[in-house]
Amino acid sequence: DQQVKQNSPSLSVQEGRISILNCDYTNSMFDYFLWYKKYPAEGPTFLISISSIKDKNEDGRFTVFLNKSAKHLSLHIVPSQPGDSAVYFCAARGGVYGGSQGNLIFGKGTKLSVKP
Amino acid sequence: DAGITQSPRHKVTETGTPVTLRCHQTENHRYMYWYRQDPGHGLRLIHYSYGVKDTDKGEVSDGYSVSRSKTEDFLLTLESATSSQTSVYFCAIRVSGGNEQFFGPGTRLTVL
């Protein structure tokens, strides 16, 4: 049973426009959410996070929104740049496997392509 | 840069052979993790460690064992490799009290 879902495997956006990546979760006990970016042949890189007690967190061009009632979070990238082209993973803290130890559960990822 | 290295970076092996992957960190972090990444599955937790000799299973632990005899090294062993274990393996650390995990560069393992 997938607890963190990224239903869009891919997204294509024009340079300068907004990219919106979505993530849904099923476990209301998750208390912290993170986004990672991954380039080919590299490890994932932490991008931005949000606590469940907040509904928005912003860091430069990146903003994460959390809607707890809908169990939904989204990552907004404005403006999108070609260097943002990567796979983006949503992750949530908690769950059966060491959730109390701070372990993360990851979604399957969304591949973002930003076209010049 | 969280000072994480993984070795080897690439390995090709045959079914039935034992394989050990090494994760090394330089900053004495308590928490260390092993994940595998496969197309259509994202990142899945194999095993994790919360201290020297303290390890536990993750979501996809069958066929894998781990050891942590010192803080800086976390070893992942495939006792008898199978083709289904062909994957990219990532090690990660977490700073105590923090929420983020920081990943190593990965090891691409191919089991023929």
pLDDT attached to residue A6: 97
Q: What is the dihedral of CA B2, B4, B9, B13, to 10 degrees?
A: -140
- Judged by DSSP in three states, B99 sits in coil
* B35 band by pLDDT with thresholds 50, 70 and 90: very high
Question: A46 and B101 in contact by Cβ < 8 A?
Answer: yes
Q: Is A98 on the interface with B (CB under 8 A)?
A: yes
CB of A50 within 8 A of CB of A63? no
Whole-angstrom CA distances from B68 to A27, B23, B31 are 31, 10, 11
Tell me which residue in B42, B100, B102 faces A49 most closely, judged by beta carbons. B100
Residues of B with Cβ-Cβ distance to A105 under 8 angstroms: 45
Share of chain A above pLDDT 90, in %: 85
CB of B104 within 8 A of CB of B6? yes
Q: Is B89 on the interface with A (CB under 8 A)?
A: no
Query: How much is the mean pLDDT over chain A?
Result: 94
pLDDT attached to residue B2: 64
pLDDT attached to residue A109: 96
Q: Is A44 on the interface with B (CB under 8 A)?
A: yes
Question: A44 and B103 in contact by Cβ < 8 A?
Answer: yes
Amino acid at position A20, single letter: I
Q: Is A39 on the interface with B (CB under 8 A)?
A: no
Query: How much is the mean pLDDT over chain B?
Result: 94
pLDDT digits (tens, 9 = 90+) for B52-95: 999 999 999 999 999 999 999 999 999 999 999 999 999 999 98
Residue with tokens 């260097």: A83
pLDDT digits (tens, 9 = 90+) for A34-90: 999 999 999 999 999 999 999 999 999 999 999 999 999 999 999 999 999 999 999
Please state the φ and ψ torsions of residue A68, each to the nearest 5 degrees.
-65, -35
Share of chain B above pLDDT 70, in %: 98
pLDDT digits (tens, 9 = 90+) for B10-19: 999 999 999 9
Nearest CA in chain B to A4: B42
Who wins on pLDDT, A101 or A12?
Answer: A12
- Per-residue pLDDT at B97 exceeds 90: no
Q: Using CA atoms, how far apart are residues B55 and B38, in angstroms rounded to an integer?
A: 23
Write out the two tokens for B31: 């928490």
- Judged by DSSP in three states, B81 sits in coil
CB of A22 within 8 A of CB of A9? no
Who wins on pLDDT, A8 or A95?
Answer: A8
Q: Using CA atoms, how far apart are residues A6 and A24, in angstroms rounded to an integer?
A: 7
Write out the two tokens for B101: 């995990």
pLDDT attached to residue B112: 96
Omega of the bond leading into B8 within 30 degrees of 0 (cis): yes
Write out the two tokens for B8: 């080897």
pLDDT digits (tens, 9 = 90+) for A11-42: 999 999 999 999 999 998 898 999 999 999 99
**A113 Cβ neighbours under 8 A, 6+ residues apart:** A10, A11, A12, A13, A85
Residues of A with Cβ-Cβ distance to B48 under 8 angstroms: 97-98, 101, 103
